[in-house]
Structure 1
Amino acid sequence: MAVFIEVKDLSLEFDGVKVLKNINLTINEGEVLGILGRSGSGKTVLMHVLRGVEEYEGISGQVIYHLARCEKCGHIEPPSKIGMNCPACEGVLKAFEADFVKLSIHDPHRRDITKRIAIMLQRTFALYGDDMVIANVVNSLTEIGVSTEDAMGKAVDLLEKVQLSHRMMHVARDLSGGEKQRVVLARQLVRDPMLLIADEPTGTLDPRTAQVVHDVIDKAVRDYNMTMVITSHWCDVIEQLADKAIVLEDGAIVSEGSPEKIAKEFMNLVCAVEKKPDVEVGDTLIKVDHLVKKYISVNRGVVYAVNDISFDVKEGEIFGLAGTSGAGKTTTSEILMGIVQPTSGEVKVRVGDEWVDMKKPGPECRGRAVKYMGILHQEYGLYNHRTIIDNLTESIGIDLPYELAVRKAINTLISTGFTEEKAKSILSKMSDEISEGERHRVALAQILMKEPVIIVMDEPTGTMDPITKMEVTKSILKAREKMGDTFVIVSHDMDFLEEICDRVALMRNGKIVDVGAPAAVLSKLTDKERMEAAAGS
């Protein structure tokens, strides 16, 4: 195979912090390179350098594309086409090299190359949300000069290639995440790409949907004879799709080889978190006694979302509310936070040495406890157009002198698992410039900045991949260790709850089945509940 991309001694520095360190890499034409790495390892930055649409001041080394180029019309093809006739004119394709480190982003040669590079990102779908699926693909075709008359037929062909012809009349914003990714791929295939850069394209999708997207990507790569670079936290994705793989750790390549070998080494590198079995918890902090919440439904009559439950939570404890959808765990957590008023029963939270009745509103009752409580929802939201330091201060109503705010932010980020160097380096970045795992830790830091005593987390792992999930686990354990906070975690992710919690309450049909050690309690799940929980996570 012909050499397509050569990366030589590539280093990149932001604000004095090296994010890529002496990267040396060769990617052959038609090859699929898999990149494994933890959040913040440099995967996404490397992908953006390869994509070539951004210019970096602190960059050194070389990123050389070996190509075939027509001197007559400027058409670009992969290196295997050297010596062949140009498909765009009657010229001959000749050997050509372009170094993305040396060439400006305004250089026409570089722009010609980047037009033949396709990109799929984890969360950025880049679709016209109000337009139909077919219109999204037609728009991409007309943008490159295809007539409207021809574009419709080509768009249908492309949607068939990505197995989405049954959704062509749907509005784009109404599609599922997996369907949106396939529309993105169809739009990218319009340009007949030489290279596909797929940066965690299924990172937030459930395993079944992710597999559909992986199959579509794999087929597109083969059908279009593309070279692909794909990052993932899922080792099996790299084993399934890649021809060779690397592990990135702290901006450097620490291993390279077959996907199977690299996957094994990566899992050893990020071995499972072990929770200390001898964590000491304090006295009771939350007391729930005979709690009931019922609703009146026109169709179903009286519905008990929570049906006479009792439990307590100790100070410094990580307490889990487990169960499948509809078990009553979310309603219970909302009552704990004072968001939902119970029908009957007692919920009390200790503030200092005094007990606060959460059923009674007002600043001297419920309000007194709520100000020491924080909640992190599954779909947490950072302010995308604000820096991380702004997200941790002004955006959440914290008004401190700048130097003190920075110091407090760094200390809080460290408490969620960042190193001091990494915490300092991300303060000036926007939220979309850091990884998914890092964003989750910043979202937890947002809560911790307000100095809560109790933190309620609603489905914190969602559809996360195993590595990001492990980073979340570490951040919670680290925050508990550093801050001494108490956590109530609502989740149907039974493996996560068993790993992180000190105790778990298993809920079923609004009632608590059992409370106690995670392994013992979760062993009482039925086969049906286990299947539903696995499908949900």
Structure 2
Amino acid sequence: MLLLEVKNVSKKFGDTTVLKNINFNLNEGEVLGVLGRSGAGKSVLLHMLRGMEGYEPTTGQIIYHVSVCPRCDHVDVPSMVGKKCNCGKEYILKSVDFWNQNEFIYPLKKKIAIMLQRTFALYGERTVGENIMESLTSAGYDGKEATESALSLIKMVKLEHRVAHISRDLSGGEKQRVVLARQIAKNPVIFLADEPTGTLDPKTAKFVHSALTETVIKHKIAMIITSHWHEVIEELSQKALWLESGEVKMFGESKEVVSEFVKTIDSMRKFEDVELKDEILKIENVEKRYVSVDRGIVKAVDGIDISVKEKEIFGLVGISGAGKTTLSKIIAAVLPSSKGTYEFRLGDEWIDMTKVGPAFRGRAKRYVGMLFQEYSLYPHRTILYNLTESIGLEMPGEFAKMKAEHTLVSVGFGEKEAENMLEKYPNELSVGEKHRVALAQVLIREPHLVLLDEPTGTMDPITRNQVAESIQKSRSELEQTYIIVSHDMDFVLNVCDRAALMRGGKIVKMGKPDEIIKILSQEEKEEMLSN
């Protein structure tokens, strides 16, 4: 039965058109995949279907066809028409003009499930079990019914071994599975998944895709999913919608649409070697020890030796738990080491980073920038504000604007594009554009070294190429030095001059990225290589 109609929908942010004349239908239990490069309008479309504030269509209609209980306003799928609600009244069919009427909007929104990229939406201080129980309670379950449903959901997403874990301490893949269980607890009429595995390594992503199949597709819940992995769209969906610059490029059977889309994807561009300068940091025999109740003394970083040259792009690679995040935090002066030496060069002077105080670590720390995987921009402030006032950049307005434009150009925007970008807001940008703005936010502080944490997590192949070019361009124009922490070995192979492979807190191999690939274990290949 027909569940959703999208009719002639367009959306503008200011003078910028992000969606133009979008039309498609979705039946109950059907899965639609949405393809398109970063900036095509995929996320805007899903936010609009969810009813998020500020995403109302400029023109056109979104109509949900659902069954509604006239007594208690409970909303369900259209096939429930004529059947009895829990309150005893029969469901009737309603066509809800989602953005143009008030009746039934609130109960309908409660039945629309969504998983967003980069957003886990969990109660961080509560356990996995408590998070799922809370969602069931909000959906109207209580007592034994709620407990039985919670147990069923926990088994469904295969988290029996994490029931008592505090949610903030889970891995990214585990958090996404908790989010999935919480959303399924709503007994939704439709499930919207916006890059649900974008921040995950390939191995963990496959696990979450499997969980989506078990919890959504096999239960015949209608789903619209976006993904930068076209294989996912082909595997999970029956139909596909290809968006390009906000317009429908193609709509039809998923295999046919994916086949045409793949033809437009270029292989990753190769970059020429550049001449490196002198060493900028030296680390010798560095350790980081923790005390665990269960395991005693744990060495998260164990006897590391690294030196990085100015203008070098250095990769730090390894599977989850290898120690690369801990080491990167030591380099960024976020964590102190337990043992060893760490020196950072400012001009001609070497600074001892193991010593605290304004003459040592405090002095050098401001010259080390870090872009975290979960970066954020102020959503209700312009890009100019995000690049200047929000980070305390103190200089006259015109100088700040000039510097902001120059930095945006250095990460790959054209001069006119950079000028126009300054008055835009983050929600008007694509994922790739936001990432480059976030990188500009780090670079505008004029650091000597930048650490990037999983810079390609949520990106389609085209956007990955853009980010690779922004890193190379800023290296060239700003003489920037990078350390890239990543499980994306394909990206490291393309972008980095050298890389270090970590296992169990140790560096087992350092050299050219193509040398690292040759010694990867089967587990590392599954987690770090896309094919």
Query: Which TM-score applies when normalising by structure 2?
Result: 0.79
> Paired residue for 1:10?
9
> Paired residue for 2:292?
none
> Paired residue for 1:252?
247
Deviation at 1:323, TM superposition (A): 7.1
1:305 aligns with 2:300: no
Distance of 1:136 and 1:332 partners within structure 2: 31
> Paired residue for 1:40?
39
Contact 2:10 2:20 survives alignment (8 Å): yes
2:183 to 179, 184, 188: 188
> Paired residue for 1:130?
125
> Paired residue for 1:226?
221
Between 158-167 and 201-210, the greater mean CA deviation after superposition: 158-167
Deviation at 1:367, TM superposition (A): 8.8
Distance of 1:328 and 1:55 partners within structure 2: 39
Distance of 1:485 and 1:296 partners within structure 2: 28
2:527 to 502, 527, 535: 535
> Paired residue for 1:479?
474
**Deviations 1:400-422 (Å, cap 9, x if unpaired)?**
34454344334423432346558
Distance of 1:170 and 1:50 partners within structure 2: 33
The runs of 5 or more residues in structure 2 that have no matched partner are 290-295
Distance of 1:80 and 1:220 partners within structure 2: 19
Q: Structure 1 vs Structure 2: percent identity of aligned residues?
A: 38
Distance of 1:131 and 1:300 partners within structure 2: 26
2:98 to 97, 100, 106: 100
Deviation at 1:195, TM superposition (A): 0.6
Deviation at 1:398, TM superposition (A): 0.4
> Paired residue for 2:156?
161
Matched letter for residue 413 of structure 1? L
Contact 1:42 1:250 survives alignment (8 Å): yes
> Following superposition of structure 1 onto structure 2, how do residues 277-316 of structure 1 map, counting pairs within 5 Å?
277=272, 281=275, 284-286=277-279, 292-293=284-285, 305-307=303-305, 313=309
**Deviations 1:297-328 (Å, cap 9, x if unpaired)?**
89899x97345x7x7736x5545566788799
Matched letter for residue 492 of structure 2? L
1:376 aligns with 2:370: yes
Deviation at 1:482, TM superposition (A): 4.5
Deviation at 1:199, TM superposition (A): 1.3
Distance of 2:166 and 2:200 partners within structure 1: 20
1:66 aligns with 2:65: yes
**Deviations 1:134-180 (Å, cap 9, x if unpaired)?**
33333333334434354223332333333334433333333333333
1:243 to 238, 241, 253: 238
Distance of 1:201 and 1:370 partners within structure 2: 34
> Following superposition of structure 1 onto structure 2, how do residues 360-439 of structure 1 map, counting pairs within 5 Å?
373-379=367-373, 381-382=375-376, 387=381, 388-418=383-413, 420-421=416-417, 424=420, 429=425, 436-439=431-434
The runs of 5 or more residues in structure 1 that have no matched partner are none
Task: Quickly say closer, same or farther: Cα 1:378–1:536, change in 2 above 3 A.
Answer: farther
Distance of 1:66 and 1:332 partners within structure 2: 51
Distance of 1:50 and 1:345 partners within structure 2: 51
Deviation at 1:346, TM superposition (A): 8.3
Deviation at 1:441, TM superposition (A): 1.9
Contact 1:273 1:474 survives alignment (8 Å): no
Distance of 1:81 and 1:375 partners within structure 2: 55
Matched letter for residue 26 of structure 1? N
Contact 1:336 1:347 survives alignment (8 Å): no
**Deviations 1:218-257 (Å, cap 9, x if unpaired)?**
2222454311111111222212211111222322222223
Task: Quickly say closer, same or farther: Cα 1:213–1:426, change in 2 above 3 A.
Answer: farther
Contact 2:317 2:324 survives alignment (8 Å): no
> Following superposition of structure 1 onto structure 2, how do residues 72-221 of structure 1 map, counting pairs within 5 Å?
74-82=73-81, 84-88=82-86, 93-103=91-101, 107-221=102-216
Deviation at 1:365, TM superposition (A): 9.7
Distance of 1:122 and 1:319 partners within structure 2: 27
Distance of 2:328 and 2:132 partners within structure 1: 45
Residue 395 of structure 2 aligns to a residue whose secondary structure is coil
Task: Quickly say closer, same or farther: Cα 1:260–1:389, change in 2 above 3 A.
Answer: same
Residue 393 of structure 2 aligns to a residue whose secondary structure is coil
Task: Quickly say closer, same or farther: Cα 1:320–1:138, change in 2 above 3 A.
Answer: closer
Distance of 2:361 and 2:148 partners within structure 1: 62
> Paired residue for 1:526?
519
Contact 2:324 2:485 survives alignment (8 Å): no
**Deviations 1:440-494 (Å, cap 9, x if unpaired)?**
3222111221234x43334444755553544431321233355453445455644
Contact 1:320 1:490 survives alignment (8 Å): yes
Task: Quickly say closer, same or farther: Cα 1:169–1:142, change in 2 above 3 A.
Answer: same
**Deviations 1:182-204 (Å, cap 9, x if unpaired)?**
33233323332111111122221
Contact 2:56 2:99 survives alignment (8 Å): no
Distance of 1:485 and 1:38 partners within structure 2: 28
Matched letter for residue 447 of structure 1? V
> Paired residue for 1:51?
50
> Paired residue for 2:293?
none
Matched letter for residue 285 of structure 2? K
Deviation at 1:99, TM superposition (A): 2.0
Matched letter for residue 293 of structure 1? N
Distance of 1:510 and 1:225 partners within structure 2: 47
Residue 108 of structure 1 aligns to a residue whose secondary structure is coil
Task: Quickly say closer, same or farther: Cα 1:292–1:214, change in 2 above 3 A.
Answer: closer
Query: Which TM-score applies when normalising by structure 1?
Result: 0.79
Distance of 1:166 and 1:369 partners within structure 2: 43
Task: Quickly say closer, same or farther: Cα 1:433–1:152, change in 2 above 3 A.
Answer: farther
Contact 1:505 1:512 survives alignment (8 Å): no
Matched letter for residue 114 of structure 1? K
Distance of 1:270 and 1:3 partners within structure 2: 33
Task: Quickly say closer, same or farther: Cα 1:340–1:126, change in 2 above 3 A.
Answer: closer
Distance of 1:202 and 1:44 partners within structure 2: 14
Contact 1:159 1:186 survives alignment (8 Å): yes
Deviation at 1:4, TM superposition (A): 2.1
Task: Quickly say closer, same or farther: Cα 1:69–1:484, change in 2 above 3 A.
Answer: same
Residue 263 of structure 2 aligns to a residue whose secondary structure is helix
Contact 1:11 1:21 survives alignment (8 Å): yes
> Paired residue for 1:23?
22
Residue 257 of structure 2 aligns to a residue whose secondary structure is helix
Matched letter for residue 100 of structure 2? K
Deviation at 1:379, TM superposition (A): 4.0
Contact 1:413 1:442 survives alignment (8 Å): yes
> CA RMSD for the aligned pairs?
4.2
